[in-house]
Structure 1
Amino acid sequence: MKMKHMARLVPLALLALGSGHAAAAGFQLLEQNASGLGNAYAGSAAVADNASTIFFNPAGMTQLQAREVSAGLNLVKPSFKFKDEGSRFLTTPLSIPASGSDAGDAGDIAAIPNAYMSWALTDRLWAGVGISAPFGLVTEYDEDWVGRAQAILFDIKTININPSLAFKVNDMVSIGVGLNWQRLEAEYERFATVLPNGVAPIPGLSATKAILEADSDAWGWNIGALFTLSPATKVGVSYRSKIKHELDGTLKVEGPAAGLAATVTTSDASADVELPDTFILSVSQQLSDQWEMLGDVSWTGWSSIQEVNIVRTSGGASGTTAQTLETKFRDTWRIALGANYKLNDAWKLKFGVAYDQTPVRNQRERLVSLPDANRTWFSFGTQWKATKASTLDLGVSYLFVPETKINNDQQAAGRGLVRGTYDSSVWILGAQYSMAF
């Protein structure tokens, strides 16, 4: 196979893998390496022990050897079990209960890959490139569940290609910058239901599906700096820009009512979403020959997503809004603490805890497609230096999510009221192989 064909297929293969329910708050994916997983990603912008620093802080490339590669895979297994507590299709006076099941488990296992390469151009200048999936989400419900008029499937996939440069100003200060090309693919599926007046004027409406499939390519940037305050202390700061996606695709209608009215006809569609920017402040402190402490404070600008309008762009209803996803997200903070213990020259143990704030404001704004809540990370990992030039990292995290209430009322739009409780948790297992040559 020709190399140019391989160049096309590798990103597409990663995009196919890079979806899954986000382990970080919202639908952000922190799992851009597995070497940081054991520390709950504490110190992410200050630790530069392999080429994956390109994503978290490109300035860290100045701490690497002449040429390095790193590749990893994280397996994410979320669980989102819904218990109905009075969902409705309509308000009074009809007050029609929503029939159907509790939906089973809306989470499923997913794989999140990454790959990075860096090389020294001079003794002060480094170049690198990273391939990762910074955002992703899948929630999939049984087709007969009580909230099927709001969503039965929501799937977001991204791939991010990040060429970067780093410059070593002096022994204390390094800076880095990167350009990001990002592709986003989205699929949203739900059933129709009765209209607010309690009547379905179109036969078969409640058995008809609306399916949005859309994609977008967009550009962003990132910068970072690394300060070596002493041989034992490093501080890293990094920023990733917002990326505005203008998705284009198709709104398909499948079922008995398809094509019977302008509002239930397949057409082209568009939707705009501005993915959030992030800022990270990290520190690593060597306490002794065996112990290293890590800290991380990060901010994500989720308030850039207040609503997503799905607009028809062809057919008799062209220019009209088919549906608005009301998110009303807020900006969030994440705090992480970690530690490393060096057993010997070959083995290191990693520990970490983190508190991760959700962008969802309250149960009224919680969407069934994103039943998100604050979560606490508990992480453990190990690092094995097989040789001076090769390293294997393994990590595991359990994310505790407290019982989560939802009371999302879309009855006025004919999509019913979903009221109940989610019992949620997430497991992550990751491996990363890094090599210098």
Structure 2
Amino acid sequence: MTKTKQRRSHGATIKVLAVAIGAVGSTASHAAAFQLLEGNASGLGNAYAGSAAVAEDASTVFFNPAGMTLLPGRNLAFSVDLVRPQAEFSNGGSTNAFAQGPGGNGGDAGDWAAIPAGYMTWQLTDRLFAGLGVGAPFGLKTQYNNDWAGRFHAIKSELKTVNINPSIAFKVNDVFSIGLGVNFQRIDADLTNAVNAAAIAGAGATALGRIRGDDTAWGWNIGAMFQLSPDTRLGATYRSKVDYKLEGTARFSGLNAAGAAAAPTLNALRGGDVTADVELPDTATFSVMQKISDRWTMLGDISWTGWSTLQELAVDRVDGVNVTTEELKWRDTWRVAFGGTYAYTDALSLKFGLAWDQTPVRDTTRLPRVPDEDRVWLSFGLQWRPDATSAVDVGYAHLFVKDAKINTNGGNALAKGTLVGEYENSVDILGVQYSTRF
């Protein structure tokens, strides 16, 4: 390739990653709680089984940076996952906040979202490799009708992250490789709910409370790869916690006529500049890839997420006045996945996967902002390789989510009422990815 063509290739690659950075933002929670596993589409067909051992394209930057040592030359991968979560509430005897109407079931709190990701890797020497990844490791969006039964607990809940992940890997020998990355991460949060303003403006008065905040923080990740034989590969990876101190505002506006009259008083009492400490969890994954014939490759992994870092969400004004506190009491979780890839022809491979994904949410502290439960993944996919240096992946997964019971008064039954009922949840994911070596 001439130098001119090389420069053009680099320019095109940088433009693709720039698009990825700008596009990350639409979010939907479909792994446990609000973790997003969809760092690529090539792993979707296997339910992300073997994610730390596969290293078949540049997305290994996120899943295990040590895998870059298996990618000669320069590599690019770009993926988009389209996600459709469903979260439908059925009332089971909720009680109303004081002097407020009963409200409905809220409609489907889920909606379509797109999650893009982009990756590049470079082979610097025979043993040294570098990479860059852009993605969204966490995200959430639920939104109910303004007049639903749980409006005093939640209406809109949206959390977005963008993670920029430069990495480096070193091939120690033919058996062992190690990789290390740093993570620059941004978080944006937007929470709304109705506020009972009856004490200020009289019976039936409700205002809309909105809390918005953002922050940036740093984390790190490390991975190792073990090629035990030509047919057996092990991978292990760890991604650190990320500590945020979100800064933003709390504002109150009129949700009904009486609430509009109460909004100035609420803003004087509880509105203003606010802060919230949030610690997103660390994760650890151990994976295996085993080739059992010329055409069959089996994959498996087990992963752990330290969700117990989230015990409550407290939002305080900068002068120390508490605006709201939501009790979480989440627990650490496990995920187990199994999958396989069948090389139907030299150009076409078929994928399948099955996974069990544990929720961190306890039955006693489930909230309508995250009406989460355990889930089972069933995934299918295919990979088409039009030539020796490129591949197109298409994957689909359906997540069977256990019905989630809820019984919460949000710590203040008089102001919020008690939300009692059950959620019927499910998720569909469709992913597409293009990978190339140049």
Residue in 1 that maps onto 2:257: none
Q: CA deviation at 1:159?
A: 0.3
Residue in 1 that maps onto 2:405: 405
Matched, 1:13 2:14: no
Q: Which among 149, 153, 166 is matched to residue 150 of structure 1?
A: 153
Residue in 2 that maps onto 1:84: 91
Distance 1:132 1:12 in 2: 8
Distance 2:171 2:246 in 1: 39
Work out whether residues 253 and 264 of structure 1, in 8 Å CA contact, stay in contact via their aligned partners in 2.
Answer: no
Residue in 1 that maps onto 2:187: 184
Residue in 1 that maps onto 2:329: 328
Work out whether residues 191 and 206 of structure 1, in 8 Å CA contact, stay in contact via their aligned partners in 2.
Answer: no
Distance 1:6 1:393 in 2: 21
Which region of structure 1 is more displaced relative to structure 2, 150-159 or 7-16?
7-16
Q: CA deviation at 1:265?
A: 5.2
Residue in 1 that maps onto 2:375: 375
Work out whether residues 67 and 225 of structure 2, in 8 Å CA contact, stay in contact via their aligned partners in 1.
Answer: yes
Q: Which among 281, 301, 305 is matched to residue 300 of structure 1?
A: 305
Distance 1:221 1:188 in 2: 28
Q: CA deviation at 1:413?
A: 6.7
Q: CA deviation at 1:203?
A: 4.0
Corresponding pairs, count: 419
The residue type paired with residue 169 of structure 1 is V
Work out whether residues 251 and 272 of structure 2, in 8 Å CA contact, stay in contact via their aligned partners in 1.
Answer: yes
Distance 1:77 1:169 in 2: 43
Residue in 2 that maps onto 1:57: 64
Residue in 2 that maps onto 1:384: 384
Residues 24-43 of structure 1: CA distance to partner in whole angstroms, max 9, x if unpaired? 00100000000000000000
Which region of structure 1 is more displaced relative to structure 2, 234-243 or 405-414?
405-414
- 1:176–1:111 distance in 2 versus 1, CA, 3 Å: same
User: Aligned to 2:67, what secondary structure does the other structure show?
Assistant: helix
Q: Percent identity?
A: 50
- 1:261–1:70 distance in 2 versus 1, CA, 3 Å: closer
Q: CA deviation at 1:414?
A: 1.9
Q: CA deviation at 1:262?
A: 5.7
Residue in 2 that maps onto 1:70: 77
Kindly report which structure 2 residues correspond to 1:32-431, keeping only aligned pairs within 5 A, or say none.
32-90=39-97, 99-193=102-196, 200-203=199-202, 206-255=205-254, 256=260, 257-261=262-266, 264=269, 266-313=271-318, 318-362=319-363, 364-410=364-410, 411-412=412-413, 414-431=415-432
Q: CA deviation at 1:264?
A: 4.8
Which region of structure 1 is more displaced relative to structure 2, 304-313 or 122-131?
304-313
- 1:436–1:247 distance in 2 versus 1, CA, 3 Å: same
Q: CA deviation at 1:409?
A: 2.0
Distance 1:250 1:40 in 2: 39
Q: CA deviation at 1:11?
A: 6.2
Residues 378-418 of structure 1: CA distance to partner in whole angstroms, max 9, x if unpaired? 00000001110110010000000122111112234722211
Which region of structure 1 is more displaced relative to structure 2, 159-168 or 265-274?
265-274
The residue type paired with residue 62 of structure 2 is F
CA RMSD, Structure 1 to Structure 2 (Å): 1.9
Q: CA deviation at 1:425?
A: 0.5
- 1:289–1:275 distance in 2 versus 1, CA, 3 Å: same
Work out whether residues 213 and 246 of structure 2, in 8 Å CA contact, stay in contact via their aligned partners in 1.
Answer: yes
The residue type paired with residue 283 of structure 1 is V
The residue type paired with residue 275 of structure 1 is L
The residue type paired with residue 383 of structure 2 is Q
User: Aligned to 2:110, what secondary structure does the other structure show?
Assistant: coil
Distance 2:87 2:291 in 1: 39
Distance 2:47 2:100 in 1: 43
The residue type paired with residue 217 of structure 1 is T
Residues 157-197 of structure 1: CA distance to partner in whole angstroms, max 9, x if unpaired? 00000000000000000000000000000000000126xxx
* Unmatched segments (≥5 aa) in structure 1: none
Matched, 1:432 2:437: no
User: Aligned to 1:113, what secondary structure does the other structure show?
Assistant: strand
Residues 118-155 of structure 1: CA distance to partner in whole angstroms, max 9, x if unpaired? 00010000000000000000000000100000000000
* Unmatched segments (≥5 aa) in structure 2: 1-10, 255-259
User: Aligned to 1:47, what secondary structure does the other structure show?
Assistant: coil
Q: CA deviation at 1:352?
A: 0.2
Distance 1:375 1:275 in 2: 21
User: Aligned to 1:55, what secondary structure does the other structure show?
Assistant: helix
More helix by proportion, 1 or 2?
A: 2
User: Aligned to 2:418, what secondary structure does the other structure show?
Assistant: strand
Q: CA deviation at 1:14?
A: 2.5
The residue type paired with residue 54 of structure 1 is V
- 1:104–1:381 distance in 2 versus 1, CA, 3 Å: same
Q: CA deviation at 1:23?
A: 1.1
- 1:190–1:9 distance in 2 versus 1, CA, 3 Å: farther
- 1:378–1:78 distance in 2 versus 1, CA, 3 Å: same
Distance 1:269 1:12 in 2: 28
Q: CA deviation at 1:204?
A: 7.6
User: Aligned to 1:414, what secondary structure does the other structure show?
Assistant: helix
Distance 1:163 1:345 in 2: 33
